[in-house]
Amino acid sequence: MRTGQPRLGSQNRIAAYFAAVVSDESVRECFAGPAAFPILPNKRVYFARNRGDGEDKEEVEAKVQALGVTATSKYMGEQWLVHVPGTHTRSATHHPQKNCVSNFVTFTTRHQATTTFIMVGPTASLAPLYRADGSSSYTCPATGYELLGAVNAPVELPARRDALKPEEATVEVFVKPGTTTAGVGERYVEGILRSVLATVILGREKGLPRRGVVITLAIVGGEDVERGDSYLTLLPALLHTSLLALLSATVPLSMTFSATLLGVTKSGIIIPDPSAADAKAMASLHALAFSSKGHLLLNESQGRFEFDTWEAVRQKALAICQNTAVSADGDVSMAEGAEGAPLHDFVRETVEDQVHRDYPWKIDAV
Amino acid sequence: MTTPLVLLPGEEVPSDHLPPTKNNNPLKLGPGLRLLSQPSTSAAAGHVLTATQAGLLTTDAKRNTVSLLSFSNRRYLPTTNDLIIAQIHHSSADYFHCMVTPHTAHALLGQLSFEGATKKTRPMLKQGELVYARVLSVGIGAGAEVELTCVNPATGKAEPGGLGPLVGGMVFDVSTGMAARLIRASSASPDQTDAVEGLVVLSELDKKLESVGGFEIAVGRNGKVWVDCSNAGDSAIQATVAIGRCLQQTDEGNLSTSEQKKLVSRILREMKIG
């Protein structure tokens, strides 16, 4: 572990972490205490308060300011959504749903009838590495994984490797575990990643045929996947990291995608983003990826499940990945009941943040 | 002008962001965009522009171009007609072998592709010397050679001006995005006096260093800037270093126009010139 900040590891740990928070005082401790909740730039953290006792905008903002957080608030249906600066404004307009399991933690204070949600989405940054053609770092608070991805493209390959498909770029993926050498599990997940990424990379664009796109993914934090454990828990994080690194390296892509992991418990409840430890107890695990146009790009499942379960999982995953349908031909209907910002927006926000950082002179002039 | 639009791969360029079509001038596509034919079922026009990279959409109404500005610190990939600063690595019978970017294959520059060069009179460049050159061709596929030239093959002149060996001076590294921005700013029409592409650093330096003798600058798309102040006499070295520092810090800090002005006066004060 690199930092002293509390890790928001599994589901249960988030719940445990906030179970203690029952009053405004302890919320303040939560932010200012020794184990301060890390509000980092770009970390999407929101407070939402029930309108409950007829508070207006000023009152809500004053209360939140008393917590040591400067923020702006907005009335959204049932609650006040408080937006913490340094996080992205766009997401604040998404309506949070109460029934979310992973992204919101609900708890009720005893004295007041207020409910507070805290939402923690994945965070990422582009181009943290200087020498690679493109790179990205990715942190997923729900599962605790931290990844670093680097892309070098186009690179010259040894002649025999491009002989298989000379009209296209050869995609190579390497997964490096943090503490051990790569083994069978890494080879398996590299194969899955290669096939997904090869479908979105435009390998026939100018300068790419007979050359290579080399993607290296290093697992730098989080629970290690031990030999024999399921590698599916890491798959969505690996996919997001490699997509962002590819975007950063300006490799031509036909579309973007977002991926999610869902676990089904023995009693049939679907849980998004289970951690590696939680995943062991699941009856089945499903990793799904959807393209920005709504195609199902990846469907890896393990365990015993019915087809009806899989269909429910697919719908839930589609809602998590993109609850704002973008398809022009109306293939994807608006999926209701999704929680928080869709993952597809997370990719977009990461890119927008980097563009705003690179081109302030261009954007501010408008 | 419309609001800045950030596109992701696969997203379409909305037609209201395109420059108005007029005077039969065809629309030119920059990097990161491609033309796709739409299925004929839709009522809209038969073709759409889609992005293949992530970046900021920019249009130039005067030149009728639309392009996608990608992140600024990426590796330079040679493109035909780019002006670059290359360093001679070694020479062979017919070619100079030049370094354009680190850790890539050498680019070739013909021994005779200089203005007025013949077999008898040609520049004898040694290892480490610099040339300002144009990318003639980039080749296709693996092992393709990048060819450079310092002369327009059609006219035999060094066009655009300044191509050829760079003597004296010093080279500074900047990001490829900054290099492209400097080139765009310098090619803008001279009547636009204030802050072309948000850059005032060069015009400020020009004003401040005029008294010591001015300076000469060449920008290569491969992220290199060559600066020469040989007219500045005793303060030539300080002025060269000051210009390089101003450009690099403007690049790294993404400074605004007022910050650039402050930076120039601070660095010149520290170097005790101007």
CATH label of the domain that carries residue B91:
2.40.50.140
Beta-carbon separation of A253 and B74 below 8 A = no
Q: What share of chain A has pLDDT > 90, as a percent?
A: 31
Q: Find the range with the poorest average confidence among A23-32, A137-146, B35-44.
A: A23-32
What confidence score (pLDDT) does residue B59 get? Answer: 86
**How do residues A308-347 score in pLDDT, each as one tens digit?**
999 999 999 998 887 644 333 333 333 333 345 678 888 9
CATH label of the domain that carries residue B54:
2.40.50.880
Question: What ipTM score was computed for the predicted complex, to two decimals?
Answer: 0.88
Query: Which of chain B's residues have a Cβ under 8 Å away from the Cβ of A256?
Result: 8-10
**Domain shared by B143 and B180, yes or no:** no
d(CA B230, CA B236): 6
In a domain, B76, yes or no: no
Angle between helices A343-358 and A235-248 (to 10 degrees): 30
**Domain shared by B115 and B183, yes or no:** no
B143 closest CB neighbour out of A156, A255, A355: A156
What confidence score (pLDDT) does residue A61 get? Answer: 65
Best interface-test mutation with A: which of B38, B56, B135, B175 has the largest number of A CBs within 10 A?
B56
Q: Find the range with the poorest average confidence among A50-54, A171-175, A265-269.
A: A50-54
More confident residue, A43 or B185: B185
Mean pLDDT of A242-259: 94
Contact B30, B63 (CB under 8 A): no
Q: Which residue of B has its CA nearest to A249?
A: B74
Beta-carbon separation of A366 and B53 below 8 A = no
In a domain, B126, yes or no: yes
**Domain shared by B126 and B88, yes or no:** yes
pTM of the model as a whole: 0.78
What confidence score (pLDDT) does residue A313 get? Answer: 94
Query: Which of chain B's residues have a Cβ under 8 Å away from the Cβ of A253?
Result: 9-10, 52-53
CATH label of the domain that carries residue B208:
3.30.1370.10
Number of domains, chain B: 3
What confidence score (pLDDT) does residue A54 get? Answer: 53
Task: Name the stretches of chain B with pLDDT < 50.
Answer: 1
Residues 262-291 on A with a CB inside 8 Å of B are 291
- Does position A28 have pLDDT exceeding 50, yes or no? no
More confident residue, A361 or B85: B85
When the pLDDT of each residue in chain A is averaged and rounded to a whole number, the result is 70
What confidence score (pLDDT) does residue A72 get? Answer: 58
In a domain, B78, yes or no: no
Establish whether the linkage from the previous residue to A154 is cis, with ω within 30° of 0. yes
pLDDT band at A101 (very low <50, low <70, confident <90, very high): very low
Q: Find the range with the poorest average confidence among A109-118, A276-285, B57-66.
A: A109-118
What confidence score (pLDDT) does residue B223 get? Answer: 93
Q: Which residue of B has its CA nearest to A201?
A: B52
B142 closest CB neighbour out of A211, A255, A359: A211
In a domain, B186, yes or no: yes
Mean pLDDT of A292-306: 92
**How do residues A47-77 score in pLDDT, each as one tens digit?**
444 444 455 666 666 665 655 555 555 555 4
Contacts A–B by Cβ distance under 8 A:
112
**Domain shared by B179 and B255, yes or no:** yes
**Domain shared by B50 and B115, yes or no:** no
Mean pLDDT of A214-224: 88
- Does position A102 have pLDDT exceeding 90, yes or no? no
Beta-carbon separation of B69 and A207 below 8 A = no
Range of the domain at B22: 5-70
What confidence score (pLDDT) does residue A175 get? Answer: 95
Q: Which residue of A has its CA nearest to B256?
A: A361
More confident residue, B152 or A227: B152
Q: Find the range with the poorest average confidence among A11-20, A243-252, B136-145.
A: A11-20
- Does position A112 have pLDDT exceeding 50, yes or no? no
A256 closest CB neighbour out of B8, B56, B73: B8
- Interchain contact A229–B (C-beta under 8 A): no
In a domain, B211, yes or no: yes
Beta-carbon separation of A250 and B54 below 8 A = yes
End position of a domain, from candidates B19, B41, B70: B70
HEC profile for chain A?
CCCCCCCCCCHHHHHHHHHCCCCHHHHHHHHHCCCCCCCCCCCCCEEEEECCCCCCHHHHHHHHHHCCCCCEEEEECCEEEEECECECCHHHHCCCCCCCCCCECCEECCCCCCEEEEECCCEEEECCCCCCCEEEEEEECCCCEEEEEEEEEEEECCHHHHHCCCCCCEEEEEEECCCCCCCHHHHHHHHHHHHHHHHHECCCCCCCCCEEEEEEEEEEECCCCCCCCCCHHHHHHHHHHHHHHHHHCCCCECCCEEEEEEEECCCCCEEECCCHHHHCCCCEEEEEEEECCCCEEEEEEEECCCHHHHHHHHHHHHHHHCCCCCCCCCCCCCCCCCCCCCHHHHHHHHHHHHHHHHCHHHHCCC
End position of a domain, from candidates B15, B42, B70: B70
End position of a domain, from candidates B140, B166, B192: B166
What confidence score (pLDDT) does residue A322 get? Answer: 79
In a domain, B75, yes or no: no
d(CA B253, CA B248): 8
What confidence score (pLDDT) does residue A2 get? Answer: 33
- Does position A151 have pLDDT exceeding 90, yes or no? yes
What confidence score (pLDDT) does residue B219 get? Answer: 94
In a domain, B177, yes or no: yes
Beta-carbon separation of A359 and B56 below 8 A = yes
**Domain shared by B134 and B95, yes or no:** yes
d(CA A336, CA A324): 9
More confident residue, B114 or A365: B114
What confidence score (pLDDT) does residue A80 get? Answer: 53
What confidence score (pLDDT) does residue B53 get? Answer: 92
